Amino acid sequence: MTTTSPDVALPRLLAGVSFRGMAQLERHVEVHGPMPAPEELDATGVIGLAERSKLRGRGGAGFPAAIKMRAVRAARGRPIVVANGCESEPISGKDALLLHETPHLVLDGAALAARAVGADRVILAYEGPRSDTRISLEHALKQRRAARVDSVRFELFAAAEKFLTGQETALMAQINGGLPRPSFIPPRPTERGVRRRPTLVQNVETLAHLALIARHGAGWYSQLGTAAETGSTLVTVAGAVGMPGVYEIERGTPLPQLFAAAGGVTGELAGLLVGGYFGSWLPAALASEVELSNAALATHDASLGCGVLVALPASSCPVAETVRVAIYLATETAQQCGPCVHGTAAIARTLHGIAEGRTSAAAFADLERWTSAVSGRGACHLPDGLAHFVATALRTFAAAFDDHASHGPCDACGTEPLLRFPDPVPTARRA
């Protein structure tokens, strides 16, 4: 479905990104054109565009944006919009990039979302420790106030640095003054979220797409992508490629094409991680064939999720990498739901035992049972995500896990970790 016409080609979201200091409003309008005024595009118009373009959430879950907007609009009470830029997936860099390099696109999209649901207030949540993000957003908001661009009020919210911080209900809890812990549904945030008001939470990339759809139309948007998965998408490429980083691709792009754009694969691969820490491990052979759409990835029990793609080099140990992430995720549980607290700890502990070569005969059977038993049994998807990550690792790297179980750590176990996560916050100790 690609076309060569310059006005539909890539980059779209990343057009005008220069990496040269603060983003300027004038330059933004020069590149993308002005945002359609309410007289040209009203609430129904915005929702209609979201629906016809088949815009889906880009935070990982891929929920249709128009359905959420309608639910918030139909709920009782004055709605609030939350632009979710927390991006707690450690390898992902796309949301931070948008907030730095093209904040006005995100803010335009947030203002349009507010218009769609009838909100007068937008809360922009970003990863708290990132003061660079805050500076970029404050600068952008100052320019917009001076130019009187917006009729909505923007507030910045510094979210906690936790894996679950961007989970919709956990973000809601923080904004409401609580800890970053998911809550049970119902109620949905669309009915009762921030300050008990109907709340539209959308990922910042989703909002940036909305800003472009409002300017160029639903037809323009879906000229890229597949019939079911329209438009372009941001992905973060990491690992054994020449130029790791954030790339904008058409949905359905073959993975070899993306890797070529990212400077090519730099050596033999052990495997691929698709979709980040809630994602799937796939055999390295798929690097030369798989297409980056959820439909194509589903045949391999994978999905694009938040768009993280890691090429794990053969010099890294897939067992060691998997175990470290499993331990990290198990420590990031919100400690609320029994099956998650016990299940994720048991999975991480048993995996660690296998990696160290001290393990019981039942270890693999235990892991198989736990990875299926914890799925869907928490208030959020942390247990499901960890279980899937581990189950796909056990399948893809079966020989390596068997080898570690019998012989302990391999030569590659000591290699510098590729899959990273924030340093654990030191816990307070009594003197």
Partner 1 sequence: MRIRVNPIMCEAHGLCAELLPEWIRLDEWGYPLINPDPIPRHLEAHARRAADACPTLALLLEHD
Which residues sit at the interface with partner 1, rule CB under 8 A? 183-184, 336-340, 342-343, 373, 377-379
Find the shortest distance in angstroms from Cβ 427 to partner 1: 23
CA 237 vs. chain centroid, Å, equals 13
For the chain, the maximum distance between any two Cα atoms, rounded to a whole number of angstroms, is 70
Q: Which residue has the tokens 């010099």?
A: 315
- SS3 at position 271: strand
Nearer to partner 1, 186 or 424 (CB): 186
Nearer to partner 1, 11 or 178 (CB): 178
- DSSP class per residue in 53-89: TT-B-SSSS--BHHHHHHHHHHSSS--EEEEEE---S
> Residue 308's closest CA among 138, 48, 89?
89
Instruction: Give the DSSP H or E segment for 281.
Output: strand 280-283
Find the shortest distance in angstroms from Cβ 178 to partner 1: 13
Nearer to partner 1, 189 or 378 (CB): 378
Nearer to partner 1, 178 or 267 (CB): 178
> What is the Cα–Cα distance from 122 to 46, expressed in whole angstroms?
16
> What is the Cα–Cα distance from 120 to 361, expressed in whole angstroms?
60
> What is the Cα–Cα distance from 183 to 187, expressed in whole angstroms?
9
Find the shortest distance in angstroms from Cβ 317 to partner 1: 30
Find the shortest distance in angstroms from Cβ 182 to partner 1: 8
Find the shortest distance in angstroms from Cβ 322 to partner 1: 23
- The sheet with strand 280-283 has its strands ordered as 245-250, 232-239, 308-313, 269-274, 280-283
Nearer to partner 1, 168 or 248 (CB): 168
Find the shortest distance in angstroms from Cβ 62 to partner 1: 23
Nearer to partner 1, 235 or 379 (CB): 379
Nearer to partner 1, 230 or 350 (CB): 350
Find the shortest distance in angstroms from Cβ 107 to partner 1: 34
Task: Name, in order, each residue with C-beta under 8 angstroms of 404's C-beta and a sequence gap of 6 or more.
Answer: 319, 354, 355, 356, 357, 410
